[in-house]
Structure 1
């Protein structure tokens, strides 16, 4: 059945699509002409600042008020720095540094980088309170485990990011920090009373609202007392009730990617997830990273059909489209001097302040650096990390802890001391055992670049906690150990 052109255009005004490659395909621009709200850029769209600036100009040639979004959190989640690592530490390091003004300056720098290449909506900051130490998807993306600290830095981050005209999007409402599963892969459940949610998870979102955040992203998580059997993204009690009525948020509610299992899996398909999210009160729908013309048209057609079969009121769709238009109007980029060049000096300064150094590096000169292979979340993607880019003379090797013996490492090291680098080393029994064996007969240093723990192996000379694995974090760690070029 043919879709009504007016309804199709209205539906498109609520959608953030995506496309592959360094140039926009014809259909991406054609959809903008037809009313599409905008596109999200991912690592596959990014080569260098000049190329990104040309790409965003290409999109604006189709329509001037297009929303061009990106996940640029700094730290472990970066798109502009996906080939090298981010020039800035992430939230865990900023929270550990404990200086809200430093957080504001770092986020202002990130905003300037984005504005310089024509991006006007940053799907950041992450404001989840990371109360589950083994959280597989938040971790170092969080400012910390204390609601007051996270709220303080949330306000600073929002203020800094929006100071250059880039709209901030605080995420993931009503709080993804207590989960032990990844909503990319399943629908996590946080089974706590609303009273705990209000005191533990909501203060950072309230701080974001108070700071004037222009967008807030919903989480594909289930909180039974609030959302029932479905995710917050599909819950009117969460979005219209808690976020709009109780917290007083008047900006755009943005969904996390609808392709994620926590949304598409719960609804049965991406188009059905789009309808459920709009009906619950969402305004701007992130379809996901793997998007083509056929999928966008299917989503628009499902939304249009829903306005005629009772699943979605026309007034709710019109309200969502209006809020998205308001977001685009507010995200007006201001001229910047930097041509997309990150402020690496600021990033390293912030990384130093967020780092913790225990022990001494006196016996760790010219070591063999052993980096443990570590996995990465879907949110992070495969981004380079480790000390290698900064080492003056030291050799760095990469090993899989479970497939390596202490004897093979000591044979490679010869008389040299050893510095072990990893992410969440404490969570791998094989990695812990290796470090403990290596520390028996020679000087050992450990650089922990993931979410920290209380684990400290006996006999280690130095233990460094960076609170993240960005390029800036790596530089700070290499300097602290006297290994930097």
Structure 2
């Protein structure tokens, strides 16, 4: 039977008996990890193995946010402190070729790090625009304000993640860069004409529309649907994400437990699926909420199941070559050397 259209979080660094029983019974499509789940490489290998054992699916996807900068769940001393996207964007502004190589190399090194510990989905790249005056929930997580630059660097990063043996997730569709508040805590409203959005915020997502995985934005776009954020808006998902942007891959929600959304988590999950999202993402690891979602969220079926299967079929082994197209090594030292140009 197909898995449930759900990705869940866990409470700590080990799979507790209650979580194991939940995974066995509810069979979510995947699991997302956070810093609270991370201690060491050996511990992560055990945890990812235990997750897949409980799910009885060796191909069950395990996700993590590993952008670099302040959004990095695996960090020192066991893993490098990767640069934030704006550093790579600044390098691109001075030297486009070096910027593109740095974006690819950072993605590839991150993918390799994840692959070694059994994680196979990196929730990068951020394709939101880095706009002056907006809330810093995106901030340095964005490569640049120019949508063409964001698209170029985002594509290089996604290709790098794949070369590292993982899948990438483009986010936050159809664009979170204009938000004037943090959607973790309240609902942002973007009051910009749709023609402006088409030329700016939507453009990087359109450029990368062939990517297999994307994450929605908990943002209201008043010119399209003044009443509902994208995650639960049929018009935004159908008209904009599937229509104008042309994305036909697997669309997961942003974290359904964020305070931008109204209602209980099960109501939010049902609304997101009814609006056209394929998968509900629930991150906080709270057992009671996970149980309610398991009751509210059905198994994958139809196009959602086809998209999920197509995404997983795109996973591959890490590129065995130890060099980049430029001939430089796939190494943290080379990434540091590139970034030193704008230090």
Normalised-by-shorter TM-score class? 0.7 to 0.9
Answering whether residue 277 of structure 2 is matched by residue 282 of structure 1, we say yes
Give the 3 Å change call, closer, same or farther, for CA 61–301 of structure 1 in structure 2: closer
Q: Which residues in structure 2 correspond to 1:110-189 (within 5 Å)? A: 110-189=110-189
Q: Which residues in structure 2 correspond to 1:370-389 (within 5 Å)? A: none
Distance in structure 2 (CA, Å) of the matches to 1:335 and 1:116: 13
Distance in structure 1 (CA, Å) of the matches to 2:24 and 2:315: 19
| CA shift for structure 1 position 44 | 0.7
Distance in structure 2 (CA, Å) of the matches to 1:335 and 1:352: 26
Answering whether residue 12 of structure 2 is matched by residue 18 of structure 1, we say no
Residue of structure 2 equivalent to 1:331: 315
Distance in structure 1 (CA, Å) of the matches to 2:18 and 2:311: 23
Answering whether residue 89 of structure 2 is matched by residue 92 of structure 1, we say no
* 1:106/1:346 contact within 8 Å kept: no
| CA shift for structure 1 position 137 | 0.1
Distance in structure 2 (CA, Å) of the matches to 1:234 and 1:354: 41
SS in structure 1 opposite 2:48? helix
Distance in structure 2 (CA, Å) of the matches to 1:335 and 1:59: 26
Give the 3 Å change call, closer, same or farther, for CA 159–337 of structure 1 in structure 2: closer
* 2:62/2:120 contact within 8 Å kept: yes
Determine which of 66, 69, 74 is the counterpart of 1:72: 66
Distance in structure 2 (CA, Å) of the matches to 1:220 and 1:119: 25
Q: Which residues in structure 2 correspond to 1:180-259 (within 5 Å)? A: 180-209=180-209, 212-259=210-257
* 1:78/1:86 contact within 8 Å kept: no
| CA shift for structure 1 position 140 | 0.6
* 2:6/2:297 contact within 8 Å kept: no
Distance in structure 1 (CA, Å) of the matches to 2:211 and 2:278: 15
Give the 3 Å change call, closer, same or farther, for CA 300–244 of structure 1 in structure 2: same
TM-score by length of 1: 0.63
* 1:42/1:71 contact within 8 Å kept: yes
Distance in structure 2 (CA, Å) of the matches to 1:83 and 1:192: 43
TM-score by length of 2: 0.88
| CA shift for structure 1 position 45 | 0.6
Answering whether residue 298 of structure 2 is matched by residue 299 of structure 1, we say no
Give the 3 Å change call, closer, same or farther, for CA 218–65 of structure 1 in structure 2: same
Distance in structure 2 (CA, Å) of the matches to 1:103 and 1:162: 13
Distance in structure 2 (CA, Å) of the matches to 1:82 and 1:333: 25
SS in structure 1 opposite 2:304? helix
| CA shift for structure 1 position 120 | 0.9
Distance in structure 2 (CA, Å) of the matches to 1:84 and 1:64: 25
Give the 3 Å change call, closer, same or farther, for CA 254–83 of structure 1 in structure 2: farther
Answering whether residue 337 of structure 2 is matched by residue 349 of structure 1, we say yes
**CA RMSD, aligned part only?**
2.4
Give the 3 Å change call, closer, same or farther, for CA 286–337 of structure 1 in structure 2: farther
SS in structure 1 opposite 2:223? helix
Deviations 1:357-391 (A, max 9, x none): xxxxxxxxxxxxxxxxxxxxxxxxxxxxxxxxxxx
SS in structure 1 opposite 2:260? helix
Distance in structure 2 (CA, Å) of the matches to 1:335 and 1:57: 23
SS in structure 2 opposite 1:217? strand
Residue of structure 2 equivalent to 1:426: none
SS in structure 1 opposite 2:295? helix
Deviations 1:235-288 (A, max 9, x none): 12222221212222221101110000112xx2x111111011111111121112
Number of aligned residue pairs: 327
SS in structure 2 opposite 1:226? coil
Deviations 1:81-121 (A, max 9, x none): 17688532111001111121221111111111111111111
Residue of structure 2 equivalent to 1:472: none
Give the 3 Å change call, closer, same or farther, for CA 85–33 of structure 1 in structure 2: closer
Gaps of 5+ in 2: 93-98, 323-329
Residue of structure 1 equivalent to 2:95: none
* 2:162/2:316 contact within 8 Å kept: no
| CA shift for structure 1 position 303 | 3.3
Q: Which has the larger radius of gyration?
A: 1
| CA shift for structure 1 position 335 | 8.1
Deviations 1:169-189 (A, max 9, x none): 111111111112000000000
Answering whether residue 42 of structure 2 is matched by residue 50 of structure 1, we say yes
Answering whether residue 19 of structure 2 is matched by residue 37 of structure 1, we say no
Distance in structure 1 (CA, Å) of the matches to 2:129 and 2:241: 17
Distance in structure 1 (CA, Å) of the matches to 2:76 and 2:285: 18
Distance in structure 2 (CA, Å) of the matches to 1:335 and 1:26: 37
